[in-house]
Amino acid sequence: MRSPLTAVSIFMFLIPGIQERPDGSATNGLISLARIAVFPNGNWRNIQLPSSLLTMGKSFSLKGRKTDRTGLESIEMTRLKEDWIRDIETQIEEYDQELSDKIGMTLLELAASANGIAADRIRKAAGKYKVAAVPVMAGEGIIGSFSQSVAAIIGRLGFKTFVTEAADVDGIYEAFGAGATCLFLADDQRFIGINRESNLISDNNTATAKGYITALEQAAGDLEGRKVLVLGHGTVGKLMVELLTQRKALLKVYDIDATRMSGLDQSMILESKDFIKDYQLILDATNNGDWITEEMLHKDFWMAAPGVPLSLSQSLFKKYRHRVIHDRLQIGVAVMMGELCR
């Protein structure tokens, strides 16, 4: 018998394959590439993907995340534009050098550090893993250059990569036929990486939060006991708050929409953007674009900013580029690949 929620999940690109079992796992039903099986109690369950997609008998354990009243997790994701990412493939080497100059780590080293593993572990995996980027047409459709950019970023880490000619289920079928160990794919709701050999799955939101916090630490030093400001309390901002709390940072959060901060302790809330200038260390997870002026910044600020579009104007970013860690895809994707090498 299919889980009642499985039927609710029919809203995106779906793959046959989920049915809840008594032990909490699932098989033979429906799976959304965006949301992978979230059940009504607010926790992820073990799921088993169909043998046409993954090796028979393997299942994925996914970390818990609170959900809305439908039982499905509410995910916010900024939709990228081709103009923002079309140069990633041709400029990845230049990007990696700039990152190294800025924080003292290459993209590969950052991916390893963010996941608590040795860089050699990723290098070793690169020698045996084949990685496919699969275009997905669900929702608003394929973003030009997206899959090619993902492949280029992972290729920079040393992996053999390719983009499938086909999209959606046919693309997954093509990837498996070509011997892909890992698959990367995204729709309008979620961007994931899957390692079919080790049964690991990586989520871009979590990887992005980990990656940018690690990058800020590398640039500015240990965050424990230091004042850190998180701008934006959406999906990535909330993950950053969790990670910074674990690091014992002295944390404040600011969001232009005060209702987003309703679950926070009052002591963690920055009441006005006028006080942003009091914080040297900033993690910017907003997506409003061009709203922070020079007068709002600490004179010695460091900003790690996964949010797109960037909160700084182009002229301000150019002036302080040496103190702003920002890209549209690279760090998040690299850390996702690192997660799949654990």
What's the pLDDT tens digit per position in 33-77?
433 433 333 343 344 343 333 333 333 333 334 343 333 333 455
53 and 16 in a common domain: yes
Give the mean model confidence (pLDDT) for residues 7-27: 38
Query: Whose CA is closest to 334, among 149, 94, 102, 107?
Result: 107
179 and 318 in a common domain: no
Instruction: State residue 161's pLDDT score.
Output: 98
Q: How far apart are alpha carbons 20 and 6 in whole angstroms?
A: 9
Instruction: Tell which wins on pLDDT, 67 or 342.
Output: 342
CATH code for position 295: 3.40.50.720
Amino acid symbol at 131: V
For the chain, how many structural domains are there in total?
3
Q: Beta-carbon neighbour count of residue 333 at 10 Å?
A: 30
236 pLDDT more than 60: yes
Instruction: State residue 21's pLDDT score.
Output: 38
Pick from 44-58, 87-101, 234-248: least confident: 44-58
220 and 315 in a common domain: yes
92 and 179 in a common domain: yes
Which domain range does residue 196 map to?
A: 82-203+331-339
40 prior amide bond cis, ω within 30: no
Instruction: State residue 141's pLDDT score.
Output: 67
253 pLDDT more than 50: yes
Q: What is the mean pLDDT of the chain?
A: 82
264 pLDDT more than 90: yes
Instruction: State residue 85's pLDDT score.
Output: 78
> In this structure, are strands 281-284 and 302-304 parallel, antiparallel, or unpaired?
parallel
Instruction: State residue 307's pLDDT score.
Output: 87
Residue ending a domain, among 25, 49, 74, is 74
In the structure encoding, which two tokens stand for residue 307, read together? 């949010």
Going by C-beta distance under 8 Å and a sequence separation of 6 or more, which residues neighbour residue 190?
A: 33, 34, 35, 36, 75, 77, 203, 204, 205
Residue ending a domain, among 74, 97, 130, is 74
- Per cent of the chain over pLDDT 90 is 69
Give the mean model confidence (pLDDT) for residues 172-188: 96
Instruction: State residue 66's pLDDT score.
Output: 39
Pick from 2-16, 163-177, 214-228, 257-271: least confident: 2-16
230 and 199 in a common domain: no
Instruction: State residue 84's pLDDT score.
Output: 63
27 pLDDT more than 50: no
Instruction: State residue 16's pLDDT score.
Output: 41
In the structure encoding, which two tokens stand for residue 228, read together? 């850190």
Q: Beta-carbon neighbour count of residue 249 at 10 Å?
A: 25
89 and 53 in a common domain: no
Residue ending a domain, among 74, 98, 116, is 74
Burial of 164 (0-12, 13-18, 19+ CB in 10 A): buried
178 and 138 in a common domain: yes
In the structure encoding, which two tokens stand for residue 205, read together? 């939101």
7 pLDDT more than 50: no
Cβ contact 163:175 at 8 Å: no
Instruction: State residue 78's pLDDT score.
Output: 64
> In this structure, are strands 200-203 and 191-195 parallel, antiparallel, or unpaired?
antiparallel
93 and 41 in a common domain: no
218 and 276 in a common domain: yes
Instruction: State residue 32's pLDDT score.
Output: 41
Give the mean model confidence (pLDDT) for residues 265-281: 96
Instruction: State residue 60's pLDDT score.
Output: 33
314 pLDDT more than 50: yes
56 and 155 in a common domain: no
122 and 232 in a common domain: no
CATH code for position 122: 3.40.50.12150
Give Cα 76 distance to the centre of its chain: 11
Instruction: Tell which wins on pLDDT, 261 or 76.
Output: 261
Q: How far apart are alpha carbons 166 and 308 in whole angstroms?
A: 28
283 and 173 in a common domain: no
What's the pLDDT tens digit per position in 205-214?
999 999 999 9
